[in-house]
Amino acid sequence: MSWMITLSVIVVYLFIVFCIGSFAGRGRESSVQEYIAANRNLGFVVLYFLMGGAIFSAFAYLGGPGWAYSKGAAAFYILGYCALGLVPWWIWGPRAARAGAKFKYVTQAQLFADRFQSKALSVIIAVVSILAFIQYITLQMKGSAYVFEIASEGRIPFWAGALIAYVVVVGYVLFGGVRAVAWTNVFQGVFMVVTAWVLGLYFAFSLYGGPTNMFTQIAAKMPTHLLVGPGTKMVYMTYASALLVSVLGFSMWPHLFMKAYTAESERVLKRTIVWYPSFAIFLVPVLFIGFAGIMQVDPDVLGAPDRILPWMFANMEFGPLAIGLVLAAALAAAMSTQDTITHAAGSIFAQDLVEALKKEKHTEAEATMWIRVSVVGFGLVSYLVAVFGGQTLVSLLLGAYGSIVQLLPLAIATFFWPRATRAGAICGVLTGVIFNYAIVLKLIPKFAGIHAGLQGLLLNLVVLVIVSLLTKPMDKKHVRQFVEL
């Protein structure tokens, strides 16, 4: 009977989120600019939580504790890239915002395709983004499914839990667009941050007497678990390259990059960049949960490491109401990213793939309809991957980063290197993406433990420079529009 109370709390939470999201876009015009970029008038608080929801996800709330539990100190890379991830964006974020306002861009690919005057580049970026998005949305759906499995004590199977989250998220994104995503993220962000701190500190103090005693006991019993290097769960090169590729690729994620077009001013955008690292502070207690479970939970009993948070809470004699609130917070973490990416994936498919390949442009109504149809379609594809895939949450994320980081040279070339050409841009991106996936699919071996995406990025940059220098320069007047923003 207690599981019904727990599940009821989660259902109430889902109802509240659905209502917030569905009503957020009411009374707004039905246009591409509104649906994707909120007519460029989001304020600081909303933008902060909208961006924050992208990192405080199933990956952080479930995958983070899972890595702390199974890999130990390797999980600290999460704090590093969250703190540093938007630093590069300070350089080109405001420039992207100016370009968006000037040329009416609403997606990342529109900017790069216009700079290099190439529809082919738009299609390539759309395909790369969508493939990575499927992995990222899958990550969130897996997290949601874990929550429903634990809450119902196994009565709701994995496939059904993922399906429930998919239906709710697609429902409000379909109606409200980016405003629905933004306002639900404000609610979910406050909810999950408060819950994370209460939970993390509670487990550390109740099981060990405090964080200091917890780490002291872990160090005494499992000393290598709190280290990175030879003989530990992750060697130096693997750790450093995972951190580096995450920092470099973070601001290149299209769903984050596109938020430069939603800010009401550059001042708001820069304030968001400055304050964004505070989300790394919010992640600290989440890792405490994973570390707290190391000497409390048998890995054979737990199964997947990503289940450590809901398992510990459900098996430590807490009341069903409290369990429901905590599991709802975990669901909030998953959904706050799932909605952002689902919205971006639909927008990119419709604007950067369909529009680029179509000879005549759609009307505003037709274009918005295509975005909504795409939102449903890509959510469904990701759902199928979540149900039939078998990777852990963090592994899924790191794999997606390897392809997205290949867009970094395009941002550098767009704003800072006038000599970059269309051929150089296309050849560079294709080289980096293909090389990354060749390693991921184990067609070629990984070199010295370096992340596949980082290896691909180096090749990408080399090819971009060489091919650009060997091909005819682009029109100077056209290029100056972007370099002099």
* pLDDT tens for each residue of 203-214: 899 889 999 999
pLDDT of 283: 79
pLDDT of 224: 87
**Is residue 429 over pLDDT 90?**
yes
Range of the domain at 279: 2-391
* CATH code (residue 292): 1.20.1730.10
Bridge-partner residues for 42, per DSSP? 263
Residue 84 CB partners (closer than 8 Å, separation 6+): 247, 277
On whether residue 64 sits in a domain, the answer given is yes
| Per-chain mean pLDDT for the chain | 84
**Is residue 352 over pLDDT 80?**
yes
Residue from 310, 288, 240 nearest 69 by CA: 288
Among 53-67, 99-113, 392-406, 468-482, the range scoring the smallest mean pLDDT is 392-406
On whether residue 456 sits in a domain, the answer given is no
On whether residue 356 sits in a domain, the answer given is yes
pLDDT of 416: 94
Mean local confidence (pLDDT), 148-177: 85
Mean local confidence (pLDDT), 230-248: 82
* CA 403 distance to own-chain centroid: 13
pLDDT of 393: 47
Residue 271 CB partners (closer than 8 Å, separation 6+): 44
Q: Distance between CA atoms of 444 and 457, rounded to whole angstroms?
A: 16
The confidence band for 59, taking pLDDT boundaries of 50, 70 and 90, is low
Query: First CA to last CA across the chain, in angstroms?
Result: 62
110 or 36, which is more confident?
A: 110
**Is residue 474 over pLDDT 90?**
yes
Q: Distance between CA atoms of 271 and 86, rounded to whole angstroms?
A: 11
pLDDT of 390: 55
On whether residue 485 sits in a domain, the answer given is no
Mean local confidence (pLDDT), 91-97: 90
Portion of the chain with pLDDT greater than 90, in percent: 24
Mean local confidence (pLDDT), 15-22: 88
On whether residue 424 sits in a domain, the answer given is no
- 349: three-class secondary structure by DSSP: helix
- 247: three-class secondary structure by DSSP: helix
* Each residue's pLDDT tens digit, 287-308: 898 899 888 888 877 777 877 8
On whether residue 431 sits in a domain, the answer given is no
On whether residue 22 sits in a domain, the answer given is yes
On whether residue 273 sits in a domain, the answer given is yes
- 118: three-class secondary structure by DSSP: coil
| Counted domains in the chain | 1
Among 230-244, 297-311, 385-399, the range scoring the smallest mean pLDDT is 385-399
